[in-house]
Structures are given as structure tokens and as C-alpha cells.
Amino acid sequence: MEAFPIPADTYKLGFIGAGKMAESVARGVVQSGVLPASRIRTSSHSNPLRRQVFESFGVRVLPKNDDVVEESDVVIFSVKPQVVKDVVLQLKPLLSKKKLLVSVAAGVKLKDLQEWAGNSRFIRVMPNTPAAVGEAASVMSLGGAATEEDGNLIANLFGSVGKIWKADEKLFDAITGLSGSGPAYIYLAIEALADGGVAAGLPRELALGLASQTVLGAASMASKTGKHPGQLKDDVASPGGTTITGIHELEKGGFRSVLMNAVVAATKRSRELS
């Protein structure tokens, strides 16, 4: 099979779809210095505010999706899952094997993407919404003709908005249940912690600030120290103290079981939808 390497120092990146995820990735790529804005393009959006957002940090906004594909070496499909088939089929004549194709459409499998495009140089990426603040948890899976170099290029791009792992596509439903839906579980936890603080007498603004920062700090400790979360928990919980008393209440309420069940239920729903 003839190889068409992507020129790492000069390649152009195009987004089909100008929504929030495309904005997050494009902005992260520019802010991190991975690519200058002059090498990124998307197409005009029905909402003029979206055009203004991309132009505000230097991304070229072209009239049509066809123009984006023609001018790009790497094309990221960031449209809604229900329209991705139609969009890929419309662009199929332009999707040559010289181009590296990427999809962030949830639930849409590589085998379908490759069939619609007539091109198996495809990479599927599952990011999550904290990409908007540079803290995404993303996972990618390589299609049949995607090379290790292609994978490294995409890891570099999505690494600009958080952390990225590589995994077999068969795991993507579980990934959706954990990191795709997981931010919502954490928002509920932050809200509940803040409500607890208010119930204990704290002003609402202070309680919410403390809850948010506490979750952020704990997540950073787990990520950066490499310690098992059980060990980190034990480090906080002194004998007969306040923390172990609170943990006892969480255990009585089935806290860990509820979170585990949420991930499993979301995974099951992802399989049904896909």
C-alpha cells in the first residue's frame, strides 16, 4: 500500500463542523503552539456568531465544506452523529488517501466511517467536554490504513486540550459511560458538596467555590502523584476523625456502588444507541 505521510511541519488542519468541540480543539491547538491559526480552517456556519468565534483567534472560515477538505491534509469531522453519514458521503469524492480523516462523532463506528468515505485512513477520537478548559480525557482508535505516524500526529493535536490514550474501539461504549458521561456525575457531586456546605452554615458562593476547588485538587492529586485513590483517601482519614465519619455515611448510602452503576448503565445505553 502506497504511503502518503502528512508533512508534520506544514500540514493544514480542517474542521467539518464549527461547534463547541471543534472550537475547543482548534483553540487548544493554537494556544499550545502545536499549529498556527493560519493553518487551520473551517466552513461558514448558519450561526454567524460561530464564524466570529473562530475568526477571533485567527482561524480561516471558508464558504463550503468542500473548500475545507480541498485545503486540508487532516480533516476532523465534528458534526452531530445523526448527520455524519450524510456529510461524509457528500464529501466522499474529495476524501483521498492522501488525507488523514478523524471523527469525534459519538457512537459512530470506524467500519461505517471507512465505508462511507471509501477510505480507511480514519481515526476515531472520543474526547469529553472539559476540552473547553484544556482538561479533556480523550481516547483514540486507529482505522485500517491509519499509520503509527498518523496516530502520533492526532495524539499531539488532542494532547493540546488534555490527555489522550489509545484503545481498541470495542472499549468505546465503556469509555463513553466513564469519561464521556463522567463530567456530569462530577458536576452532581460538586453541587451536592456545595449544598452540604450550605446546610452546615456556609454562604452559597463560598460553599460552591470550596466544593469545585476541592474536586479539582483531589483529581490533580490522583493524576499527578500516581498513588492509588484508596491510599490518598487513607492519607486524609485519621482514626476517629471527621473524614472517616463522613466516609462512613457515604458507604451507608452506597456511594461507590451508585457511581459504578452509573458508568455501567451509561455504557449499556451507549451500546443501544450505537
40 labelled ligand-binding? no
- Mean pLDDT on 14-19: 96
Q: Residues 212-237: what's their mean pLDDT?
A: 97
Residues for the chain: how many in total?
274
What span, in angstroms and rounded, lies between the C-alpha atoms of 125 and 127?
6
Strands 136-142 and 122-126: antiparallel
44 is in an annotated binding site: yes
22 is in an annotated binding site: no
Consult the annotation and say whether 166 binds a ligand.
Answer: no
Domains identified in the chain and CATH numbers: 13-169 (3.40.50.720), 181-273 (1.10.3730.10)
Q: Are 37 and 13 in contact (CB under 8 A)?
A: no
Tell me if 167 sits within 8 A of 177, measured CB to CB. Answer: no
Residue 181 annotated as lining a ligand binding site: no
Is 1's pLDDT higher than 60? Answer: no
State the average pLDDT over residues 37-60: 92
Helices (H), 110-254: 110-117, 148-158, 172-175, 182-199, 204-225, 229-236, 242-252
Give tens-digit pLDDT for 153-197.
999 999 999 999 999 999 999 999 999 999 999 999 999 999 999
d(CA 139, CA 158) in angstroms, rounded, equals 9
Task: Please state the pTM of the whole predicted model.
Answer: 0.92
Question: In this structure, which amino acid lies at residue 118?
Answer: G
268 is in an annotated binding site: no
Between the two ends of the chain, the Cα-to-Cα distance in Å is 31
The annotation status of 65 as a binding-site residue, yes or no, is yes
Ligand-binding annotation for 18, yes or no, is: yes
2-6, 85-89, 123-127, range with the lowest pLDDT: 2-6
**pLDDT, position 48:** 87
Q: Given a cut of 60, is residue 55 above it in pLDDT? A: yes
